[in-house]
Homo-oligomer: A and B are copies of this chain.
Amino acid sequence: MHDPLLAYVRTLASTPLTESEIDVIKQVFVPKKLRKKQYFLQEGDVCQFMGFVVSGAMRQYTVDSKGVEHVFQLSIENWWAGDLESYTMLTPSRYYIDAWEDTTLLTVSKADKYELAALPALGEAMSRLDQRHAFALQHRVNAALSLSAEERYAELARTYPAFLQRFPQHVIASYLGITKETLSRVRNLPAKK
């Protein structure tokens, strides 16, 4: 059950995990199953848990005043799900998070996460994780501000091709900040060149 998470943590840590560290991880990460379409978080709630995706696929999005969904984050195996800001600041979230497929998560509360951070190897792993997260966001800001729809799609296809297999186009389109019609055209035009 916890194996994918342990493997993941090992890629982040600079030292091998000790037995006791492995025990703590198994203890604080509690499994949770979500059915397709089931909510993990709803707007207005405080995000009490971060979830490591063991299997399945999830979607994090806002709903604007016109009722349109704006996908902010997609998560598949070996990614995280949760609203980090709500989780760390204990503020109500602006996001919905739900399962796009039946999904298995390993969830950890904020208090337990502090316990983890106290262990040297895991504290280091977590700060690396936060860094990676920040870098990914940095790239997305860049892409969103300075690339066209076609370029953004090409970049996604290059960087995270797995997403394209797992989510339908209208979800991908929203993630890219464009409409499904535009995505459809952008995908088909290059084929005709």
B134 engages A130 (CB within 8 Å): yes
User: Residue-by-residue, is A102-122 near B (CB-CB < 8 Å gives 1, otherwise 0)?
Assistant: 000000000000000000000
Contact of A144 among B84, B89, B144 (CB under 8 A): B144
Contact partner of A72 (CB less than 8 A), chosen from B84, B127, B130, B142, is B142
Roughly how many angstroms separate A138 CA and B140 CA in the complex, as a whole number?
9
Which single residue of chain B is at the shortest CB-CB distance from A152? B145
Chain B hits for A64, CB < 8 A: 146
Bound complex: CA of A142 vs CA of B73, how far in Å?
A: 10
Known interface pairs A130-B134, A137-B137, A141-B141. Does A146 touch B85 (Cβ–Cβ under 8 Å)? no
Chain B residues positioned under 8 Å from A42 (CB to CB):
none
The distance from the CB of A176 to the nearest CB of chain B, in whole angstroms, is 8
Cα of A140 to Cα of B143 in the assembled complex, Å: 12
A176-B64 Cα distance, complex, nearest whole Å: 20
What string of 1s and 0s marks CB contacts (under 8 Å) between A64-96 and chain B? 100000101000000000001100110000000
Quick one: closest B residue to A94, CB to CB? B142
Binding site for B on A (CB under 8 A): 62, 64, 70, 72, 84-85, 88-89, 127, 130-131, 133-135, 137-138, 140-142, 144-146, 176-177
Q: List 25 A-B contacts (CB under 8 A).
A: A62-B146, A64-B146, A70-B145, A70-B146, A72-B141, A72-B142, A72-B145, A84-B135, A84-B138, A85-B134, A85-B135, A85-B138, A89-B135, A127-B127, A127-B130, A130-B131, A134-B137, A137-B137, A137-B138, A137-B141, A140-B141, A144-B144, A144-B177, A145-B176, A145-B177
